[in-house]
Amino acid sequence: MRVAIVGAGVAGLSCGQALLSAGAEVHWFDKGRATAGRASAKRAFGGHVDLGAQYFTARHVAFREQVERWQQQQLVAPWPAKLYSFAEGHLQPSADDIKRYVGLPAMHSPWRSGLPEQAITLSCRIQAMSYQQGWQLQAEDGRSFSGFDALVLALPPAQASELLTQDEDLRQQVPVSMLQPCHAIALALSEPIAHPATAVFVKDRPVSWVACNSDKPGRQSDSQHWVLHFNPEFSQQQLAARADELSLLAQAELSLLFQQDVLVTQSLHQRWLYAIVDAEQGAPGVLISRRFPCVVAGDWCLGGRVENAWLAGQQAAKAVFHV
């Protein structure tokens, strides 16, 4: 069985790895220059900076077993963050004590481990798909790929929807506006912040998350640096904002949170167009076509978060054998 997976983020990689283990032949396509999607980190500040996924939890037993294997391979470590919350102008320690993990040395490390490089086509935006006996895929640059028995769309819902022109029934089930945007900014500081907090959940401010990336286990770095996520409402409203504007705002937020001046030496911006699940829209589950051997999967199928991306990928792999 030959399976094409469009989207090599956490869900797509999880699905493909499960299919490989089950003996299928797998090929991934991704428009990005690297795998792991929102879990991919950027090289900067003398190491890797996690601009997307900040950590992950392991509530589900199957994922916990996977995380344990990764820990043995030193691809994952617990992150004993000093967690605070900021609300109504007050910064205080958080009672939240759920176990958080990060990839080593960067967030993408566990997902990329053991991938067969020759089975991955990067910088390749699939623009059209059609089914006649097998699947045929057309990339924007004119390349054509064919002979797949099944297809997994491991994409944000808006992008999956665009490809499903042949399958109106399935397309109708895709919640196109479910993933909300997120502006992420990383700031390298000339002086470390003098405060015990290493991660802060923020309320009622433009930012919703602040974390000291250089505090995470196994991170190399030439200076203390922080990652800030702007909340979905702000990110949506300022969707086209420039990196320099956002950096200044992030600096001001950091300063306000910790009540001290911060001097920024370098900054980094990433706009995630499709990042945060809108929980009010529910969770549709992994979607399976009734017309073609095609499955649609992503974190958004199960309510968002890294762990659910992995689980959705596993479910999609099972579904592939029944389509």
Contact set with a copy of itself (CB under 8 A): 127-130, 132, 135-138, 144, 146, 158, 162, 165-166, 168, 177, 181, 236-243, 271, 273
DSSP per residue, 187-255: EEESS---SS-SEEEE-SSSEEEEEEGGGSTT---SS-EEEEEE-HHHHHHTTT--HHHHHHHHHHHHH
Helix, strand, coil share of the chain (percent; to 5): 30, 30, 40
User: For a copy of itself, which is the closer residue by CB, 40 or 315?
Assistant: 40
Q: How far apart are CA 234 and CA 242, in angstroms?
A: 13
Whole-number minimum distance, CB 215 to a copy of itself, in Å?
29
Whole-number minimum distance, CB 188 to a copy of itself, in Å?
20
Whole-number minimum distance, CB 255 to a copy of itself, in Å?
22
Whole-number minimum distance, CB 67 to a copy of itself, in Å?
34
User: For a copy of itself, which is the closer residue by CB, 52 or 313?
Assistant: 52
User: For a copy of itself, which is the closer residue by CB, 74 or 177?
Assistant: 177
Cβ–Cβ under 8 Å, residues 302 and 59: no
User: For a copy of itself, which is the closer residue by CB, 178 or 311?
Assistant: 178
User: For a copy of itself, which is the closer residue by CB, 132 or 259?
Assistant: 132
User: For a copy of itself, which is the closer residue by CB, 110 or 156?
Assistant: 156
Both tokens of 118, joined, read 């020759």
DSSP per residue, 69-109: HHHHTTSEEE----EEEEETTEEEE-------EEESSSTTH
Q: How far apart are CA 60 and CA 68, in angstroms?
A: 12
Whole-number minimum distance, CB 124 to a copy of itself, in Å?
13
Whole-number minimum distance, CB 13 to a copy of itself, in Å?
23
Could you tell me the CA-to-CA distances from 295 to 41, 225, 274 in Å, in that order?
27, 40, 19
Whole-number minimum distance, CB 150 to a copy of itself, in Å?
15
Q: Give the contacts of 76 (CB within 8 A, at least 6 positions apart).
A: 67, 70, 101, 102, 103, 104, 109, 110
Following CA atoms 217, 218, 219, 220 in sequence, which dihedral angle do they give, to the nearest 10 degrees?
Answer: 140
User: For a copy of itself, which is the closer residue by CB, 91 or 158?
Assistant: 158
CB atoms within 10 A of CB 194: 7
User: For a copy of itself, which is the closer residue by CB, 143 or 203?
Assistant: 143
Q: How far apart are CA 68 and CA 90, in angstroms?
A: 37
Q: How far apart are CA 90 and CA 203, in angstroms?
A: 10
Whole-number minimum distance, CB 242 to a copy of itself, in Å?
5
